[in-house]
Amino acid sequence: MFESFLSGLAVVLQPMNLLILTSAVFIGFIGGALPGISGVILVVILLPVTYGMDPTAAFMLLTAIYGSTVFSGLITAILYRAPGTPEAVMTAFDGYPMTQQGQAGKALGIGVLSSAIGGLVGTVALIIFTPLLASVALKFSSPEYFALAILGLTVVASLGGRLIFGLIGATLGLLIASVGIDPLTGTSRYTFGSLHLAEGVGLIPVIVGLFAVSEVMKRTLGQETHQPLKKVSVKIFDMPILRRIGITLSRSSLLGVIIGILPGIGASTAAMVSYSETVRWSKHPEQFGKGAPEGIAAPEAANNAAAMGALVPLFALGIPGSGTTAIILGAFIMHGLQPGPMFMMTSSDLIYAVFAGLFIVNFMILLFSKPFIALFTRLLNIPYSALGPIIVMCCIVGTYSVRNSMFDVWLMLGFGVLGFLLEKIRFPLVSIILGLVLGPIAESELRRSLAMSQGDLSIFFTRPISATLIAISCLLLIAAIIVPLRKRWRIKAATT
Amino acid sequence: MFKKHFLVAASSLGLTLMGSTTAAIASSDAAADFPSKPLQFLVAAGAGGGTDNFTRTVKPMLEEVLGVQSTVINLPSASGALAHQRTANSEPDGHTLDFASSTLVTSLAAGQNPTGLDELTPVARMQSDVMTLIVDPDKYPDFESFMAHAEENPGEVIIGGTHAASPDRMAFLSFRDASGLDINFIPYDEEGSVSANVMGGNIDGMFGEISSILSYMESGDMMPILVFAEERLGNFPDIPTTVENGWNLTDGNERGVFVNAETPDEIVAKLESAFKEVYDSDAYQEYEERVNLHYREGWLGSDAYGQKLEENLELYKRLLEQN
């Protein structure tokens, strides 16, 4: 295996292939940095270009773009609260407050380092454990997915802010998620006879509206006096910070890999779960959402690790772990390759070259992100009266391009207004996203589990992984209720 | 020059005044000019899937045959219903083409697609993928053992597939209807999850296309045990068919091209022959072989395909009502 990796490395280090990788990283940087242009869209656009290429070069190009877009979504998330990709939503929660406090450079540095480390952990896992991890992925079926989604949802309790708002937000997210054709029976729900709502409300219009557009509105209406950003200098290696986020980085990278390998749930979910867990385990959960470095490190390490993890079932089993990997799977078929359990044997040269390429991409991210961000932050010198409309324009084009739907654009603008209003009452927007992302997983997996067991609820407790996850969720819920109560008793006891 | 302008003006005036009766007169002229501007290909599916790959492979070939440019737009919303609707509402001049799979008719039967077969005219069917029942061979080595298990354990066998109005679900319903077995269906969001659950032993089997599981057959993780076809496939002579079991089930997933139903016949004919030329080309046949769609004849002309779709719609509606 190590030999295969070295020979893969030798292929990648050929000048032509290095050139392809470098350009792929830059294309990925630009695409990821523009709100709405996600890895999926870039891979689709470049797919026809690769038909004429040698398969090894073609897949190095596609996977490198895939890896680098996941990274670069953080730039606009941190600078303008306009996540460049869905994977970077969680990064905005603490990244943007840091920018507002004049610490944009520090925030970006943490993001870059966390991404590269998460990506490297993911790549190493991909290289060493692919066959092993693939069999873990097969152990996960509906009851396990349901339990995982429940674990994610329980974090609402520890998200800070007013608990009642968190619960309302999560419920609102669940409600939005239930719009569309019911995936199991085909019944239309809340579609009001509109075809546009039949597919449900997309994640992109909601995210882009709630976060990016509402922020532009807020700043344009001048409700918040904003200090103009000074020159942003990105510092990637900062020892005190690194010491502070070390544990978060390792936990989030591992969590990212594990969630990434599960078919059907991708890097966005990984970022969300890992952010939630970091809040939960933190000694200072109240700092999150106000510019905590861990709040950037957790989602960025996790989403990059998960992006690599999602390639595990693709290479080992021919099962895509996420949306973008599904398109890469299609690309393999178009090139006449046959992904599946035999793929590692029949195309090992190609696969190890792709692995080696991804390995190098993570170093390229460390190397190239600084000049790229420097170039990008020049935009900050543009007065906001010009930059604001440009951001909104990017949001419109990006949202439209996902499904070629004008309806989604109106929806996105509507969520912009909603986000603007909700922020006025300090409503935690993250809880809405939590419900929206985890809701569909929880709902359909619950129903699939019950279909598997013919309505018997014990299926969740007789399967070891699902039982463990549900037990953890219960304990955490109980803890969330008891800990504040005990604090109150103690204060009472001390005063009397 | 003057004459041509006059003709255009007269025919458009005629159209507005008298409606469709003049369309036939204008059409012979339109067919001669066709295509007069770039074509628009609407893909009734997301980017990267089978229908999208099909469209993007055909695009340069058709451009060469017709000598015209074209653009591809994916409209995956509502299982492609938006693409059908937009085609039915487009200018009936053959410049807007709807690239669709069997989901067009399955979603219509399920009431999820408001554009009826009377609003679209099929130009041609280009692909006909073979539907199969796929299982883990460690669990069920052959079709007899599957049948025996399902008969002995009514209500316990679970078959997976993609969403509730998919060709897989129709295959399941028609199989259950014909065999009389008491078996259940669970829809998943994507094909990958279905195969993961079959390999993980969580469900008993799935309905799917043979082309997508070749690698699993080689590794022994999954195996088709029943083929929806009249005759055994040349490449897989050991797998029994539905017809030899006495069940007349031969539908798989099909992919074809549609235009607005008002499109003049001459233009439809011109498009049909252009697609036929593409279909017969070496380049297209090579592609079919590369993606394993060559197990049976894909081509079906406009009229024959239209008739088949009507029959399928009737069958699917009946099956869904029974359910």
What CATH number is attached to the domain comprising B186? 3.40.190.10
* Residue written as token pair 């010009």: A386
Q: Closest Cα partner for A159 from A358, A435, A393?
A: A435
Rounded distance between C-alpha atoms, residue A395 and residue A215, angstroms: 12
Q: Same domain, yes or no, for B174 and B149? A: yes
Model-wide pTM > 0.80: no
Residue the block writes with tokens 């770039």 = B38
Selected residues 12-41 of chain A with any CB under 8 Å from a CB in chain B: 40-41
Q: Which of B200, B219, B245 is the last residue of a domain?
A: B245
Domain boundary among the residues B245, B264, B295 is at B245
Same domain, B259 and B281: yes
**Residue B23 reports pLDDT greater than 60:** no
Q: What confidence category does residue B21 fall into, taking pLDDT thresholds of 50, 70 and 90?
A: very low
Inter-chain touch B52–A341, beta carbons under 8 Å: no
pLDDT above 70 for B91: yes
Give the residue on A whose Cα is nearest the Cα of B54: A334
The DSSP letter of residue B186 is: E
Q: Does A101 touch chain B (CB under 8 A)?
A: no
Residue B171 within a domain: yes
Distances (CA, A) of A484 to A136, A478, A489, B71, B151: 37, 11, 9, 60, 57
Residue at a domain's end among B245, B267, B287? B245
Instruction: Give the number of other Cβ atoms within 10 Å of residue A189's Cβ.
Output: 13
Instruction: State the residue for tokens 């005759």.
Output: B231
Q: At what angle do helices A104-139 and A293-309 cross, to 10 degrees?
A: 40
Nearest to A341 among B50, B219, B290 (CB): B219
Q: Do B164 and A141 touch (CB under 8 A)?
A: no
Of all residues in chain B, the one with the smallest CA distance to A318 is B192
Co-location of B143 and B240 in the same domain: yes
Helices (H), B165-209: 167-179, 191-199
CB A148 within 8 A of CB A264: no
Does any domain span residue B10?
Answer: no
CA angle B227, B229, B232 (to 5 degrees): 75
Q: In the 8-state DSSP scheme, what is residue B294?
A: -
> Two tokens at B30?
């339109």
Does B269 contact chain A (CB < 8 Å)?
Answer: no
CB contact under 8 A, B202 and A342: no
- Report the C-alpha gap between B274 and B280 in whole angstroms: 10
Nearest to A326 among B77, B190, B214 (CB): B190
To the nearest whole angstrom, how far is the Cα of B74 from the nearest Cα of chain A? 7
Give tens-digit pLDDT for B284-323. Answer: 999 898 888 888 899 999 999 999 999 999 999 999 988 7
Cβ of B215 and A343 within 8 Å?
A: yes
B272 touches chain A (CB under 8 A): no
Give the tokens for residue A339.
């992904």
Which chain A residues are within 8 Å of B188, Cβ to Cβ? 448
- Give dist(CA B85, CA B88) in Å, integer: 5
Do A264 and B189 lie within an 8 Å CB cutoff? yes
> Which pLDDT value is given to residue B10?
46
B6, part of any domain: no
Q: Determine the average pLDDT of the residues in B130-155.
A: 94
On whether any CB of chain A is under 8 Å from the CB of B189, the answer is: yes
Q: Is ipTM > 0.85 here? A: no
| Burial profile B266-281: b = 16 or more Cβ within 10 angstroms, e = fewer | bbbebbbebbbebbee
Of B85, B193, B213, the CB nearest to A195: B85
Instruction: For residues B261 and B241, state if they share a domain.
Output: no
Whether chain B has a CB inside 8 Å of the CB on A52: the answer is no
A403 vs B56, B77, B203: nearest CB? B77
Residues B231 and B266 in one domain: no
* Same-domain check for residues B123 and B140: no
Yes or no, beta carbons of B192 and A319 under 8 Å apart: yes
Cβ neighbours of residue A317 under 8 Å, at least 6 residues apart? Answer: A134, A137, A138, A340, A341, B195, B196, B199
Residues B156 and B224 both lie in one domain: yes
Please say whether the dihedral angle defined by the alpha carbons of residues A445, A451, A457 and A463, taken in this order, is positive or negative. negative
Chain B residue closest to A440 (CA)?
B189
Question: Distance between CA A299 and CA B171 in Å, rounded?
Answer: 42
The residue of chain B with its CA nearest to that of A333 is B291
Both structure tokens of B34 = 């066709």
Non-local (6+) Cβ contacts of A111 within 8 A are A74, A75, A78, A91, A95, A296, A300
Parallel, antiparallel, or unpaired: how do β-strands B70-74 and B39-43 relate?
A: parallel
Strands B120-129 and B300-301: antiparallel
Please check whether residue A64 is in contact with residue A361, taking contact to mean a CB–CB distance below 8 angstroms.
yes
- Could you tell me if B281 lies within 8 Å of chain A, comparing CB atoms? no
Is the Cβ–Cβ distance between A88 and A77 less than 8 Å? yes
pLDDT over 50 at B11, yes or no: no
Residues B139 and B122 in one domain: no
* Chain-centre distance for alpha carbon A220: 28
> What 3-state class would DSSP assign to B225?
strand
Reference A187, options B20, A417, B31, A179; nearest CA is A179
Q: Do A339 and B291 touch (CB under 8 A)?
A: no
Range of the domain at B195: 131-245
Per DSSP, the residues of A274-302 read: HHHHHHHH-S-GGGTTS--HHHHHHHHHH
Q: Residue A218: what pLDDT?
A: 85
Considering only alpha carbons, which residue of chain A is nearest residue B161? A184
| B162 and B311 co-located in one domain | no
Q: Are residues B191 and B55 in the same domain?
A: no
* Cα–Cα dist A267/A203, whole Å: 13
Those residues whose C-beta lies under 8 Å from the C-beta of residue A463, and which sit 6 or more positions away, are A141, A143, A144
Contact in structure between A332 and A339 (CB atoms under 8 Å):
yes
Cβ partners under 8 Å of residue A287, min gap 6: none
Share of chain B above pLDDT 90, in %: 59
Assess if residue B9 is contained within a domain.
Answer: no
Is A359 within 8 Å of A79 (Cβ atoms)?
no
Pairing of strands B253-260, A188-189: unpaired
CB B81 to CB A198 under 8 A?
yes
Neighbours of A327 (CB within 10 A): 24
SS3 B36: coil
A:114-143 residues touching chain B, CB 8 A cutoff: 137-142
Q: A142-153 and A267-281 helices cross at what angle (nearest 10)?
A: 50
A177 closest CA partner among A404, A446, A433, A411: A433
Contact B188 A448 (CB under 8 A): yes
Length, in residues, of chain B: 323
Which tens digits make up the pLDDT trace of A352-372? 999 999 999 999 999 998 888
Contact indicator for A272, A152 with CB cutoff of 8 Å: yes
Closest CA to A340 of B67, B304, B61, B191: B191
Residues of B in Cβ contact (< 8 Å) with A338: 214-215
Evaluated on CA atoms B281, B285, B291, B297, the torsion sign reads positive
A182 interface with B at CB cutoff 8 Å: yes
For chain A, give every domain's residue range: 2-464
Check which CATH number belongs to the domain holding B288 and give it: 3.40.190.150
B112 and A198 in contact by Cβ < 8 A? yes
Which tokens is A365 given?
């991210």
Cβ neighbours of residue B86 closer than 8 Å, sequence gap 6 or more: B42, B75, B96, B98
From the list B53, B164, B199, the residue facing A138 with the nearest CB is: B199
Q: Same domain, yes or no, for B167 and B117?
A: no
Return the pLDDT at A229: 59
Contact in structure between A64 and A24 (CB atoms under 8 Å): yes
Distance CA A28, CA B211 (A): 32
**Alpha helices (H) in A289-347, listed in sequence order:** 293-309, 311-317, 323-334, 343-346
Count how many domains chain B has. 2
Distance separating alpha carbons of residues A38 and A331, to the nearest angstrom: 17
Could you list the mean pLDDT of each consecutive 10-residue stretch along chain A, which spans 496 residues? 85 92 92 75 78 87 91 89 86 91 90 94 89 77 88 72 82 91 83 84 86 86 59 79 90 92 81 87 84 94 93 83 78 78 81 93 91 79 80 84 85 94 86 84 90 89 91 82 78 76
Spatial neighbors of B257 by CB under 8 A, at least 6 apart, are B97, B98, B99, B100, B122, B123, B124, B126, B271, B275
The verdict on a CB contact (< 8 Å) between A44 and B48 is yes
**Which has the higher per-residue pLDDT, A440 or B22?**
A440
Integer Cα distance of A25 and A64 in angstroms: 6
Residue B230 sits in the same domain as residue B177: yes
A47, A197, A311, A404, best to mutate vs chain B, most B CBs in 10 Å: A404
What does the alpha-carbon distance between residue B45 and residue B55 come to, in Å, rounded to a whole number? 10
Per residue in A302-338, pLDDT (tens digit) is 999 999 998 988 888 877 777 778 778 878 877 878 7
Q: Which residue has the higher pLDDT, B172 or A265?
A: B172
The predicted structure's pLDDT at residue B126: 96
Q: Whose CA is closest to B84, among B93, B71, B75? A: B75
Q: What per-residue confidence (pLDDT) applies to B114?
A: 87
